[in-house]
Structure 1
């Protein structure tokens, strides 16, 4: 677990930031922008998001959203549904794992071969104390036994970024310095342990063979970054007090795993509204084939869910509706925080899709995506776009980088690969304004 914390946080923390850069504010001339990735496992069947009768691109204004995403009906003017991207080159089966956000071949147990789009965007967007935060939702048993897990995000080849799945640990990391009582005591004890581990790790690493020293050095750097992040957050404690979520029995005595899911979402939202981070990745099912939603009255869990047809399935309707309500909570919270001449939501984009294209055991020929928001007017909204299946998910990721100010024509796809899997170059003209 300690290795996971060190490697995961080390990949996401920039050590040169100053406390005043917490907020994308007048200190920086860059427009404040942020992005949220919400990845649901087991696939995203297009019939669960495309309005009935819509076979071609058009406005959503006069359409009625399907039951699974009905919670988004009041937000149709901010919604863009995209069908017809592909991820054939990612070779998904149970999951594309790192390939889903990396746009490259992924498989169970295979390390990432390049940075994923969420990490790349965190480098381009205005700097924050924690440029990239990943949270993962699973069964309560899995979240307790594996509080950190890396399957979706990476900072480079062989450099996975770990998701936080225990809200108690994450709360201590983000808001422990402003807490009181037991949480404060645990935060201070944990901090002392981390300091000691950093010192011991640095000393012991010198005795290792050269072949192991570099990898070990990544862990040492990870502990330095964890401790550095804690120190920087402590300097803005007065500001953070306005945004820290309330701690209740859901944290320490969860009845269902959805209690922890909700706590994790609250912490993710708080990290955005407080300005701690500008890039949030949510893994519902943590990029694997597991996951449970007993709090929704669903007894089935894990791999079995992937072998069920999603359209008109009451189980998948409940899961997708739960996701949609989470998306609404994110939007409403960001909408409540003023920013510039508008709100934080005006400068935000939410990307909702699956780490497994359209279904379990898929070849990735169709990869539906929903976008919410326009990131400062960069993306078209209120519409449905039907593509011809000839452009990969990498083209969408190129579009995201362009909207964030990065001039690129392809993301993680060389000429040879593009010649086989992409019939064009540059961003998707159908999504950008």
Structure 2
């Protein structure tokens, strides 16, 4: 059977469809050859707004440096207590209530606390700086981590794909976006922001049109795209001769965008069988404006896109500050909840409890995604062993993002390149042994097989006395 599969792959790779079917063929080839290290690597970045509370991420039995030692009250962003590096196996400790949905994945999860990302501005968000680590809240000035990983890993139509609740962080009269939006999170480079899809239905039709279109419709679409490029090509040569300098460069980028769209459609057409096999079911939930329903739909579409090989990197923006989780009995917006602290929300919860319940809603979907990936065999393990889900916030560990304590939850694996099943808490900002988000991003990039420099992003001038180069040694296997 193995011989026949290999012979089939050699024969098929000689055909004209090999480029379009590259993601699927690569997966088959790896299985046939039994090369564990060559399995596709994938990332999912789930970037929430308003921070992720740190004090309720500490496993039972460990010293909680994020609460007052006597009163047990939550401390502020820069007020965490002193403490040495903590590197503890999660299997020896009960997870906190907030992470209960991830209990069965304890050996494949690592909680990281007290990394910093300081030196780039942001009041309620670091914007593009969240994933580029530059002073880049509203305008992209450097490529972001997800786009860099996507360009390195993805062989499908999309280097990375993003879905968001909304493009505007804070607005009155909030409602979910029903088309493309710009949440200011991802960019391929300076002035090259990535548009996210807000509508689950439109994301489904964009990614999985092969599941609902006939072969004739798909063929016609490819032909039309090809004819459009031929038409543009003739006119383009005439127009290009009349341009110079920046105008000529901008015109070239304009034409490249059309060519990129054509290539996307060609690749998707070559993956029709895979798309039809793994496409989610289009339901009325995809039109719901209830936050939890939209989040569930985005996760469902993201899972299918990764399984199919349409992309290897997904970034999800589950909420913005204007979102109101009415299904939790809350009339307060996410922004309002961030200011409540111990005061009561509309349903009687404290601000801290309400924020935790929102995070639990996200983590439930992460657990559902992980379960799906864990059920898909890859070699001697599963798809989850080669996928890293990263839960984080654009606002570090608090509603107002100073960035001195940035928590991350990692779930999955990178082919055993990272040490999972750990609780890692680094010394507080400025103390000996403190590390940064840049060190974490280097770890993820190196685990994905990328060559990196010694640092990532904009350096923190206040940490010149510390060695903050290279990946996190405690995370690397």
TM-score range with shorter-chain normalisation? 0.7 to 0.9
What's the offset of the Cα at 1:307? Answer: 2.0
Structure 2 stretches of 5 or more lacking a match?
A: 1-16, 64-85, 168-172, 343-349
Identify the residue that residue 469 of structure 2 maps to in structure 1: 425
Superposition pairs for residues 2-401 of structure 1, below 5 Å?
18-23=19-24, 24-27=26-29, 30-55=38-63, 56-107=86-137, 109=138, 111-125=139-153, 127-138=155-166, 142-144=175-177, 147-180=180-213, 203=235, 206=240, 210-252=245-287, 254=288, 256-285=290-319, 289-309=321-341, 313-388=352-427, 389=429, 390-401=434-445
Distance, in Å, in 1 between the alignment partners of 2:459 and 2:47 is 28
What's the offset of the Cα at 1:241? Answer: 0.8
Rate the CA distance shift 1:103–1:262 in 2: closer, same or farther, 3 A. same
Rate the CA distance shift 1:116–1:331 in 2: closer, same or farther, 3 A. same
Distance, in Å, in 1 between the alignment partners of 2:462 and 2:223 is 47
Distance, in Å, in 1 between the alignment partners of 2:465 and 2:280 is 44
Deviates more, 1:267-276 or 1:400-409: 400-409
What's the offset of the Cα at 1:57? Answer: 3.2
2:384 is paired with a residue of what secondary structure? helix
1:281 is paired with a residue of what secondary structure? strand
**1:285-305 CA distance string (max 9 Å, x none):** 2xx533343333332225323
Identify the residue that residue 8 of structure 2 maps to in structure 1: none
Distance, in Å, in 2 between the alignment partners of 1:303 and 1:200 is 47
Rate the CA distance shift 1:145–1:324 in 2: closer, same or farther, 3 A. closer
What's the offset of the Cα at 1:17? Answer: 8.7
Is 2:45–2:316's contact at 8 Å kept on the other side of the alignment? yes
The number of aligned residues is 411
What's the offset of the Cα at 1:379? Answer: 1.4
Normalised by the length of structure 2, the TM-score is 0.77
Distance, in Å, in 1 between the alignment partners of 2:129 and 2:361 is 25
1:155 is paired with a residue of what secondary structure? coil
Distance, in Å, in 2 between the alignment partners of 1:418 and 1:118 is 27
Distance, in Å, in 2 between the alignment partners of 1:415 and 1:301 is 34
Is 2:442–2:456's contact at 8 Å kept on the other side of the alignment? no
What's the offset of the Cα at 1:113? Answer: 1.6
Rate the CA distance shift 1:174–1:414 in 2: closer, same or farther, 3 A. closer
What's the offset of the Cα at 1:79? Answer: 1.3
Normalised by the length of structure 1, the TM-score is 0.84
Distance, in Å, in 1 between the alignment partners of 2:396 and 2:463 is 21
Distance, in Å, in 2 between the alignment partners of 1:381 and 1:198 is 51
Is 1:150–1:160's contact at 8 Å kept on the other side of the alignment? no
Is 2:119–2:459's contact at 8 Å kept on the other side of the alignment? no
1:300 is paired with a residue of what secondary structure? coil
What's the offset of the Cα at 1:406? Answer: 2.1
Rate the CA distance shift 1:290–1:377 in 2: closer, same or farther, 3 A. same
**1:1-50 CA distance string (max 9 Å, x none):** xxxxxxxxxxxxxxx99122123425467332111111111001111322
Larger Rg: 2
Distance, in Å, in 2 between the alignment partners of 1:258 and 1:407 is 38
Is 2:285–2:294's contact at 8 Å kept on the other side of the alignment? yes
Is 2:441–2:456's contact at 8 Å kept on the other side of the alignment? no
RMSD: 3.3
Identify the residue that residue 68 of structure 2 maps to in structure 1: none
Is 1:85–1:366's contact at 8 Å kept on the other side of the alignment? yes
Is 1:124–1:406's contact at 8 Å kept on the other side of the alignment? yes
Distance, in Å, in 1 between the alignment partners of 2:206 and 2:55 is 40
Distance, in Å, in 2 between the alignment partners of 1:262 and 1:185 is 30
1:84 is paired with a residue of what secondary structure? strand
2:51 is paired with a residue of what secondary structure? coil
Distance, in Å, in 2 between the alignment partners of 1:129 and 1:200 is 22
What's the offset of the Cα at 1:145? Answer: 5.3
Identify the residue that residue 402 of structure 1 maps to in structure 2: 446
Distance, in Å, in 1 between the alignment partners of 2:185 and 2:234 is 29
What's the offset of the Cα at 1:274? Answer: 1.1
Rate the CA distance shift 1:142–1:421 in 2: closer, same or farther, 3 A. farther
What's the offset of the Cα at 1:317? Answer: 2.3
